[in-house]
């Protein structure tokens, strides 16, 4: 099956009221494990690669790897998405490399650390949508800065994310500004800030509305009922995955992620793309630790990578079921990029005024 664009996939998800997990990939084991789960669940999927993943694996390897998994699982629509593009040039090279969707994260400057102002964010994001839509490729933008409502800190991890203290205004996307931003940039999907952050250490206790502001999502959805919303930092950080890591020599401090029922609440209010990387890392690392600690004489990578892949597959299947993604792959037929480009050119994909216009059925 050809690759699908984010826009078409999320239009379908909106029509049928489900959410789509966007899993980060860096290597063959992750790609295979996620696709095995998608195939088992008949779920469309978003495979996303960060700048770090592109540096780690190279665009050529990623392209061939994704071609390979779509050949192995020909019935699964796969959206190939750039996660946190830091500048238009990064998005341009991703489009050249065959990505069907790019994120232009103009909430931060190109250094990936400094919060950007409104004019900068609108200008870089609009330049990417103009270029991407001309080729049928979708665009995700971000308004608001990801970070903790508990500490007020940005979510700097692995060299990406805002540094230092942020104001409450920066940490919560304003619904009126969201409407203006989507009108001005024409993004197909909007990532919003409401208390989630990347990595394992999101909350120091089970989050309530004071630190995970799902009401902000609801207010934005009220203003922008036809725009697909994206939740970043949406790993649940399950206790059982933390326990496996710690039981086998790891040193994770107690922590909480985003509860699945809060994501489900988001899906009822326009959240269509749910970004998950940390949970995948935890699932795999727990099994690698278990095998190597339990059998220190083992040195065949397949002996620890296979259980790691199985753990990732189990996690993905759970999320496909929980988000209602399961059962939808066979209901979608991907439209060619040229057809998407034509629809953008005629204005029939206006993100503010048009609802679910690319049905797969
Ligand atoms: O945005 C954060 C994702 O977890 C990707 O992480 O930049 O370390 O690949 P990464
Ligand atoms: P997590 O760190 O919560 O998995 O978030 C990943 C993400 O948002 C990637 O863009
Ligand atoms: Zn993110």
HEC string of 187-207 equals CCEEEECECCCCCCCCECCCC
CB 144 within 8 A of CB 121: no
In the predicted structure, residue 76 carries a pLDDT above the cut 60: yes
pLDDT in tens, 279-324: 999 999 999 999 999 999 999 999 999 999 999 999 999 999 999 9
**Does the C-beta of 280 come closer than 6 Å to ligand 1?**
no
In the predicted structure, residue 28 carries a pLDDT above the cut 70: yes
- Tell me, yes or no, if 83 is annotated catalytic: yes
Where exactly are the structural domains of the chain?
6-335
- Nearest atom of ligand 1 to the alpha carbon of 277: 4
pLDDT of residue 162: 87
In the predicted structure, residue 92 carries a pLDDT above the cut 60: yes
**Beta strand extents in 5-123 (DSSP E only):** 20-24, 45-49, 78-85, 101-104
Residues enclosing ligand 2, CB less than 6 A?
A: 24, 83-84, 198-199, 232-235, 275-279
Burial, 117: exposed, middle or buried (Cβ in 10 Å; 0-12, 13-18, 19+)?
A: exposed
Helices and strands (DSSP H and E) totals, the chain: 14, 8
* Lowest-confidence segment of 54-58, 81-85, 160-164, 218-222 by average pLDDT: 160-164
CB 328 within 8 A of CB 11: no
DSSP 8-state code for residue 254:
P
pLDDT of residue 141: 98
Smallest CA separation from ligand 1 atom 5, residue: 50
pLDDT in tens, 236-258: 999 999 999 999 999 999 999 99
Q: State the helix-helix crossing angle for 118-134 and 88-96, rounded to 10 degrees.
A: 20
Q: Nearest CA to 78 among 48, 103, 118, 52?
A: 48
In the predicted structure, residue 354 carries a pLDDT above the cut 90: no
pLDDT in tens, 197-211: 999 999 999 999 999
- Residue to probe by mutation, ligand 1, list 46, 49, 81, 84, most atoms within 8 Å of CB: 84
Q: Which residue has the higher pLDDT, 165 or 301?
A: 301
CATH number of 6-335: 3.20.20.70
Distance 298 CA to ligand 3 centre (A): 35
Given 83, 105, 188, 277, which residue is catalytic? 83
pLDDT of residue 155: 79
pLDDT of residue 351: 85
Distance 271 CA to ligand 3 centre (A): 14
Q: What's the residue count for the chain?
A: 361
Global pTM value: 0.97
Q: Nearest CA to 233 among 169, 147, 320, 140?
A: 147
- Rounded Cα gap, residues 116 and 18, in angstroms: 32
List Cβ neighbours of 257 (8 Å cut-off, separation of 6 or more).
200, 202, 203, 234, 235, 236, 237, 238, 278, 279
List Cβ neighbours of 154 (8 Å cut-off, separation of 6 or more).
113, 115, 145, 146, 147, 161, 162, 163, 164, 165, 166, 197
Tokens of 356: 């679910």
Question: Of all residues in the chain, what percent carry a pLDDT higher than 90?
Answer: 91
Smallest CA separation from ligand 2 atom 5, residue: 233
Tokens of 153: 């800190």
- Rounded Cα gap, residues 99 and 93, in angstroms: 9
- Residue to probe by mutation, ligand 2, list 84, 142, 234, 237, most atoms within 8 Å of CB: 234
CB 357 within 8 A of CB 349: yes
Place 358 in a pLDDT band, splitting at 50, 70 and 90.
Answer: low
Residue-wise DSSP of 8-29: HHHHHHHHHT--EEEEE--SHH
**Does the C-beta of 22 come closer than 6 Å to ligand 1?**
no
In the predicted structure, residue 361 carries a pLDDT above the cut 70: no
In the predicted structure, residue 45 carries a pLDDT above the cut 90: yes
In the predicted structure, residue 42 carries a pLDDT above the cut 80: yes
């Amino acid at each position: 099956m050809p690759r699908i664009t984010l826009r078409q996939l999320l239009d379908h998800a909106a029509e049928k009221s489900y959410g789509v997990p966007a899993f980060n990939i860096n290597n063959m084991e992750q790609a295979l494990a996620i696709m095995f789960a998608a195939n088992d669940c008949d779920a469309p999927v978003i495979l996303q690669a960060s700048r770090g993943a592109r540096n780690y694996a190279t665009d050529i390897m990623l392209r061939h790897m994704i071609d390979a998994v779509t050949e192995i699982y020909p019935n699964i629509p796969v959206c190939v998405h750039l996660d946190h593009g830091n500048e238009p040039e990064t998005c341009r090279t991703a489009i050249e490399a065959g990505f069907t969707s790019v994120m232009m994260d103009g909430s931060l400057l190109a250094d990936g650390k400094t919060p950007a102002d409104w004019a900068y964010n609108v200008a870089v994001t609009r330049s990417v949508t103009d270029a991407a839509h001309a080729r049928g490729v979708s665009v995700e933008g971000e308004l608001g800065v990801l970070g903790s409502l508990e500490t007020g800190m940005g979510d700097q991890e692995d060299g990406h994310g805002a540094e230092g203290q942020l104001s409450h205004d920066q940490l919560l996307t304003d619904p009126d500004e969201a409407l203006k931003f989507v009108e001005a940039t024409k993004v197909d999907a909007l990532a919003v800030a409401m208390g989630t952050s990347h990595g394992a250490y999101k909350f120091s206790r089970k989050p309530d509305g004071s630190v995970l502001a799902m009401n902000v999502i609801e207010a934005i959805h009220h203003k922008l009922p036809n725009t697909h919303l994206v939740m970043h930092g949406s790993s649940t950080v399950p206790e059982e995955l933390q326990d496996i890591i710690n039981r086998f020599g790891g040193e994770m401090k107690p922590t909480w992620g985003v509860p699945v029922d809060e994501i489900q609440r988001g899906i009822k209010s326009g959240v269509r793309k749910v970004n998950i990387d940390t949970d995948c890392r935890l699932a795999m690392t727990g099994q690698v630790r278990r095998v190597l600690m339990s059998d220190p004489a083992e040195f065949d990578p397949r002996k620890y990578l296979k259980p790691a892949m199985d753990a990732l597959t189990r996690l993905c299947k759970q999320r496909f079921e929980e988000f209602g993604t399961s059962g939808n792959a066979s209901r979608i037929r991907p439209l060619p990029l040229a057809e998407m480009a034509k629809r953008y050119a005629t204005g029939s994909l206006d993100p503010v005024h048009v609802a679910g216009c690319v049905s797969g059925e």
